[in-house]
């Protein structure tokens, strides 16, 4: 691994992130300005508002990152920016800002895939991750099982056909009046409740496939709630949150372990915002331990969106990709 200092920039959704990472592993500074308080009153991310907040915040976030690191911009070797997938207006802020910086400093620019960035939160923190491996990426926008043969060599084995796991958490949290973002809110409520008091389905789809679907579970949860209310019963939100969380996690764990067995790998990674979920971390650990798989997941702060994972990813992509031209664009899809 080279020893370059990489400045990462992340603005794909509602977090404005700038970070400095050396050699792909050493975080010199990692600043994230969250917009949660702004979007909370709308119950979800409002794209236009996110873009405007990124514009207002990004310069300040860069300034704070440089100050915390004690480095000057002239000590940065490479600029790395998320340019896909995400909210287009939000991505364009980061990409424009990165291009301006790269041009002004005369430094190379690398374009990074946000999902690949999530995977590299693991390489940032853990030593001894061996290929080939299977990674479950679970966030607000994506639920994918990825097979990775080596750095930069990956294949999507399956993804969600409808809602992402995090999206399901967010929507059900809103429905139950638990607030935004939904994942942490449901996890908190679930801790006060018990699984199995209510019964919700586990959506495995084809038993030996690697695709996910969470919209049926979402409907089943809402129907159960409405049925209980109609029959005049009090609904215990904590028990319902616990069962909902269990239904999501059971499917994620079973499919990930099946994918690891199918490919004969010995390493499993978790990545993305939903990887912060304690029940998912515990159940995946148990499942992997049972059949001798090595499991890695990032610390909670590096599961959700941040720019350190983007800079770390760029350290491994350096040499695989040519630097991006100044015509670099942003793309909402993969």
Q: Which residues make up the interface to Zn ion (CB under 5 A)?
A: 139, 305
The least CB distance from residue 244 to ligand KG4, in Å, is 11
Q: Which residue has the tokens 């060599």?
A: 153
The least CB distance from residue 65 to Zn ion, in Å, is 19
Q: Tell me if 182 contacts ligand KG4 by CB under 6 A.
A: yes
Closest CB to ligand KG4 among residues 5, 247: 247
Residue 297: both structure tokens together? 């997941």
Closest CB to Zn ion among residues 193, 298: 298
Please list the residues that pair with 7 across neighbouring strands. Answer: 20, 79
Site for ligand KG4 in 267-286 (CB under 6 A): 272-274, 276-277
Candidate list 163, 170, 195, 243; residue touching ligand KG4; CB under 6 A: 170
DSSP string across 250-305: HHHHHHHHHHHHHHT-SEEEEESGGGG-HHHHHHHHHHHHHTT-EEE---HHHHSS
Site for ligand KG4 in 62-81 (CB under 6 A): none
Q: Tell me if 287 contacts ligand KG4 by CB under 6 A.
A: no
Candidate list 8, 17, 85, 166; residue touching ligand KG4; CB under 6 A: 166
Closest CB to Zn ion among residues 139, 160: 139
Residue 170 contacts which entry, ligand KG4, Zn ion, none (Cβ below 5-8 A, type-dependent): ligand KG4
- Residues 257, 218: Cα–Cα separation, whole Å: 24
Closest CB to ligand KG4 among residues 139, 256: 139
- Pair 147, 155: CB distance under 8 Å: yes
Residue 24's contacts (CB-CB under 8 Å, 6 or more residues apart) are 1, 2, 6, 120, 123, 124, 312, 315, 316
Q: Could you give the 3-state DSSP secondary structure of residue 151?
A: coil
DSSP string across 173-194: HHHTT--SSHHHHHHHHHHTS-
Neighbours of 207 (CB within 10 A): 8
Q: Tell me if 135 contacts ligand KG4 by CB under 6 A.
A: no
Residue 89 contacts which entry, ligand KG4, Zn ion, none (Cβ below 5-8 A, type-dependent): none
* Interface with ligand KG4 (CB under 6 A): 13, 139-141, 166, 169-170, 181-184, 187, 272-274, 276-277, 304-305
């Amino acid at each position: 691994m080279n020893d370059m200092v990489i400045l990462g920039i992340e603005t794909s959704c509602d977090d404005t992130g700038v970070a400095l990472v050396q050699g792909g592993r050493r975080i010199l500074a990692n600043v994230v300005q969250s917009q949660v308080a702004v979007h909370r009153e709308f119950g979800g991310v409002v794209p236009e508002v996110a873009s405007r907040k990124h514009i207002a915040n990004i310069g300040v976030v860069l300034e704070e990152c440089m100050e915390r690191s004690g480095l000057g911009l002239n000590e940065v070797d490479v600029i790395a920016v998320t340019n896909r997938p995400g909210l287009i207006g939000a991505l364009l802020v980061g990409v424009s800002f990165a291009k301006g910086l790269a041009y002004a400093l005369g430094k190379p620019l690398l374009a990074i895939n946000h999902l690949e960035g999530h995977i590299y939160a693991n390489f940032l923190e853990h030593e001894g991750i061996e290929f080939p491996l299977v990674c479950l990426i679970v966030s607000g926008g994506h639920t994918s099982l990825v097979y990775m043969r080596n750095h930069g060599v990956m294949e999507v084995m399956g993804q969600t056909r409808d809602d992402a796991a995090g999206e399901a958490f967010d929507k059900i949290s809103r429905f139950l009046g638990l607030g935004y973002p939904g994942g942490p809110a449901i996890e908190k409520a679930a801790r006060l409740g018990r699984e199995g008091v209510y019964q919700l389905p586990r959506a495995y789809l084809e038993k030996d496939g690697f695709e996910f679907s969470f919209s049926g579970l979402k409907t089943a949860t809402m129907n159960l709630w409405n049925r209980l209310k109609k029959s005049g019963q009090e609904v215990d939100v904590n028990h319902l949150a616990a069962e909902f969380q269990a239904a999501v996690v059971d499917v994620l764990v079973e499919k990930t372990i099946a994918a690891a067995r199918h490919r004969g790998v010995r390493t499993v990674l978790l990545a993305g915002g939903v990887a912060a979920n304690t029940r998912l971390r515990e159940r995946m650990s148990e499942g992997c331990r049972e059949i001798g798989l090595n499991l890695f997941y990032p610390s909670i702060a590096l599961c959700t969106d941040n720019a350190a994972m983007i800079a770390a990813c760029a350290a491994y992509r350096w040499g695989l990709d040519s630097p991006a031209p100044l015509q670099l664009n942003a793309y909402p899809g993969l």
